[in-house]
Structure 1
Amino acid sequence: MPDVLPDADWRGRKDLDRLCEVLGAQEGEARFVGGAVRDGLLGLPVKDVDIATLHRPENVVERIKAAGFKAVPTGIAHGTVTAVLNGWPVEITTLRRDVSTDGRRATVAFGTDWVEDAARRDFTMNALFADPQTGTLFDYFDGRADLAARRVRFIGDPLARIAEDHLRILRYFRFTARFGALDRSSPDYAACVQSATSLMALSRERIADELLRLLGLPDPCEVIAAMVEDDVLKPVLPEVNDLGVAVLATLIRAEHQQGIAPDALRRLAALLPLDSGLAEQIGARLRLSNKARQRLRKAITLVDATSPEALTYRIGPESAVDQLLLGRAFSPMLAPKIATWPVPKFPLSGGDLIAMGLVAGPEVAKTLQALEQSWVEAGFPPEGQARAMAAQMIKGWLK
């Protein structure tokens, strides 16, 4: 693991040096922290840049504005201000210490002690600071060694850190799936298992966000399997069992083989039994959007269709791809084709049927529905052929 933060493209982003300068980086008053440092050390792309500073948030706002940048008080009560540089955000947070915690939120006080600020963070790999100018690293809890060993380790006593914020249980598994090697014998893992029931105290929105972020990683299957086997997921998703994990593993292989990007909602569907009513219950429990609930329900509801195209016409390309990759309809090999298939529009309306001689009334809707079904089964023929089918059907009705 390097002794200094390697140079990388993200460090040369326009105006980042200027922002660090106005925050007093040259005097040691501002440092890069968290994910940018961690991912920078691993040579991974850095998307979000966070800066920790000695300055209080009100002063941070003044400095940002004085430099000509936009300042957004995204979490000013907790010391966080966002500077917008050429359209991309940089989060700046005043050094803090926890005054009190209740497992869901913390009351903080601002401080000037870098070690104290690092000590309140969750994992050693997330408590690394770096000087913006020289790249010099500040590692107070052996985060670099843990990063090199692919070890996700809580700072201090794992049980105490989880008691401060129960969401750290799910974060532990997400970071393990992304950066670490699963070690079910570690005290950190044991603490997560022991504290799993505390997840019930969290808002369902926070649980859903963290769970979907975990499921969206390239291959979280080993971690999810451990969570199911050791009942970590049971307090929030008791419906998930070993069969769901096996379906998830098959789905991940299919996604990889067909060159389709991971999708967290599709993977959540893989974990669930085939029960559309259950999908609605879980969607409501996790406070998912109506659109997400509908997609979840479609993914775990078997549909009778004569072809992949007919399935796509009925439930839409996204949901059809879900069903194909989940092995619930036709072949996963058809997923790339269906993902880009232009869904045709039924070329006729009730008015067209009336113009052909059908009397306005309930029979119009009935005939239109039957005609559309025939049109789908015939392979979506062009308008002229669809009209011929309609004329023949109406002729039968009028006899």
Structure 2
Amino acid sequence: MAESTPTSLPAAEWTSRPQLAKLVEALGPGNARWVGGAVRDTLLGAPVHDIDAATPLKPVEVIDRLDAVGIRTIPTGIDHGTVTAIVEGGNVEITTLRHDVSTDGRRATVAFASDWKDDAARRDFTINALYADPHTLEVHDYFGGVADLAARRVRFIGDARQRIREDYLRILRYFRFQSRFGSQLDAEAEEACAELASSLKGLSRERVGWELQNLLALPDPSATVARMRELGVLQVILPEAGKHEVERLGQLVAAETAHGVAPDAMRRLAALLPAVPPVGESVAARLRLSRSQRERLACVAARDMRDGDNPRALAYAVGVPCAIDRLLMTGADPAPLTGWEPPMLPLKGGEIVASGVAAGPEVARILRSVERQWVDEGFPDRARVEAILAEYLSARPV
């Protein structure tokens, strides 16, 4: 396919940063183009967070040229051609043009290239293979990515099955990009993803878990997740998520929107799991999640339809984040927890001992009883806690 009709990036703050101009000048004429997400998102009018550049220069030469003008670099992926330039306003990843030598579905062996189209051809989707000249802002589009952006279509470059066989994680990336950018479903892409879904079993669990979290963190991934289940993809990476759990994800997203609660990947992952704490722990272990994430999934899995009876008591017991998750999951209003921090019980065991109770299990029992009543009464002040303690002490057998 020939390069499409020229278009240009619209005006954007990042394209006029002095440090980026200095970087481009150091690399030399024709040796740098912005690429990928920054170009794509600028064309869409979306915020740009990360800036990447491509260059025909080898990594060592990139480092030397930037060092000569005082721009510090980090060889973050130098074996694969990537150098990170430390510049004001946000670091820039600069990668030497590449083409694939061999792939096995998990990793690729690459060689440096000198042709921009060769570099574009090894990327996954047409909308990610857009390059922009840093001086003229002209967009170089080799595979129809600009038209696909306009149509909100996520399309693999070339043969979808071949692209997926090069890196099976592209199945999950397809659905993430479809959820974020797509409105038109691509039949070839869906057929390829369904056909090759079982290949996801061969990927590292960390990569699968990370990509799944990226998908679930999007504004509303529920329709995409439902489609993944229809195609048999979800069952491969998350067999615990049945039809009921997928429906619950949609309900959770609606509840988040209704109550103005920001999206959260772990909360949504919890929605896709049955309310059985050991299942949450097992999934967290399988996806190599952190200890805190594992504990959170188990906490949310312990939800109960009575959680909404006393939201602050729930938050005191399990923490505000888990309480909000459980309230949203059970259809309760999390508003009582907005800006609220659980207080500390204004009573210590030593004070009970000072009241005449011998140190030992009895002190702990009285402390728990006072705490329970304090929570039930809505966390009253110190004076009321002292009164509750006095009531318990006076009721003790002499």
Report the TM range for the smaller structure's normalisation: over 0.9
**Structure 1 residues 358 and 14, CA gap change in structure 2 (3 angstroms):** farther
Corresponding residue number in structure 2 for 1:320: 323
Residue 95 of structure 1 contacts residue 110 of structure 1 at CA under 8 Å; is this kept in 2? Answer: yes
Cα distance in 1 for residues equivalent to 2:184 and 2:287: 26
Cα distance in 2 for residues equivalent to 1:296 and 1:371: 30
Matches within 5 A, 1:49-60: 49-60=51-62
Cα distance in 2 for residues equivalent to 1:252 and 1:13: 37
Corresponding residue number in structure 2 for 1:307: 310
**Structure 1 residues 234 and 398, CA gap change in structure 2 (3 angstroms):** same
Does residue 17 of the first structure (1) align with residue 21 of the second (2)? yes
Deviation per CA, 1:344-369: give whole Å up to 9, x if none. 11111111110111101111112211
| Deviation of the 1:58 alpha carbon | 0.9
Residue 321 of structure 1 contacts residue 339 of structure 1 at CA under 8 Å; is this kept in 2? Answer: no
Tell me the SS of whatever aligns to 1:65. helix
Corresponding residue number in structure 2 for 1:162: 164
Cα distance in 1 for residues equivalent to 2:53 and 2:89: 17
**Structure 1 residues 226 and 93, CA gap change in structure 2 (3 angstroms):** same
Cα distance in 1 for residues equivalent to 2:47 and 2:231: 33
Does residue 3 of the first structure (1) align with residue 7 of the second (2)? yes
Matches within 5 A, 1:1-399: 3-24=7-28, 27-86=29-88, 88-183=90-185, 186-303=187-304, 306-327=309-330, 331-332=332-333, 335-399=334-398
Tell me the SS of whatever aligns to 1:108. strand
The aligned length equals: 392
Cα distance in 2 for residues equivalent to 1:106 and 1:367: 64
Structure 1 unaligned residues grouped into runs of 5+: none
Cα distance in 2 for residues equivalent to 1:236 and 1:245: 14
Cα distance in 2 for residues equivalent to 1:187 and 1:111: 29
Residue 32 of structure 1 contacts residue 132 of structure 1 at CA under 8 Å; is this kept in 2? Answer: yes
Structure 2 unaligned residues grouped into runs of 5+: none
Tell me the SS of whatever aligns to 2:176. helix
Counterpart amino acid of residue 85 in structure 1? V
Tell me the SS of whatever aligns to 2:91. strand
Cα distance in 1 for residues equivalent to 2:129 and 2:159: 15
Counterpart amino acid of residue 43 in structure 2? L
| Deviation of the 1:240 alpha carbon | 0.5
Cα distance in 1 for residues equivalent to 2:206 and 2:355: 53
| Deviation of the 1:193 alpha carbon | 0.7
Higher mean alpha-carbon deviation, 81-90 vs 288-297, is at: 81-90
**Structure 1 residues 350 and 2, CA gap change in structure 2 (3 angstroms):** farther
Cα distance in 1 for residues equivalent to 2:231 and 2:128: 26
Tell me the SS of whatever aligns to 2:323. helix
Deviation per CA, 1:311-331: give whole Å up to 9, x if none. 111111111111111126xx2
| Deviation of the 1:286 alpha carbon | 0.8
Tell me the SS of whatever aligns to 1:15. helix
Tell me the SS of whatever aligns to 1:224. helix
Residue 276 of structure 1 contacts residue 300 of structure 1 at CA under 8 Å; is this kept in 2? Answer: yes
Residue 240 of structure 2 contacts residue 274 of structure 2 at CA under 8 Å; is this kept in 1? Answer: yes
Cα distance in 2 for residues equivalent to 1:87 and 1:234: 42
Higher mean alpha-carbon deviation, 295-304 vs 150-159, is at: 295-304
| Deviation of the 1:378 alpha carbon | 1.5
Deviation per CA, 1:171-212: give whole Å up to 9, x if none. 00000000012526x111110111111111111111111111
Counterpart amino acid of residue 311 in structure 1? L
Residue 4 of structure 1 contacts residue 136 of structure 1 at CA under 8 Å; is this kept in 2? Answer: yes
Cα distance in 2 for residues equivalent to 1:395 and 1:33: 75
Q: TM-score, normalised by structure 2?
A: 0.95
| Deviation of the 1:150 alpha carbon | 1.1
Residue 357 of structure 1 contacts residue 394 of structure 1 at CA under 8 Å; is this kept in 2? Answer: no
Cα distance in 1 for residues equivalent to 2:318 and 2:99: 51
Cα distance in 2 for residues equivalent to 1:394 and 1:291: 39
Counterpart amino acid of residue 320 in structure 1? A
| Deviation of the 1:398 alpha carbon | 4.4
Cα distance in 1 for residues equivalent to 2:206 and 2:44: 30
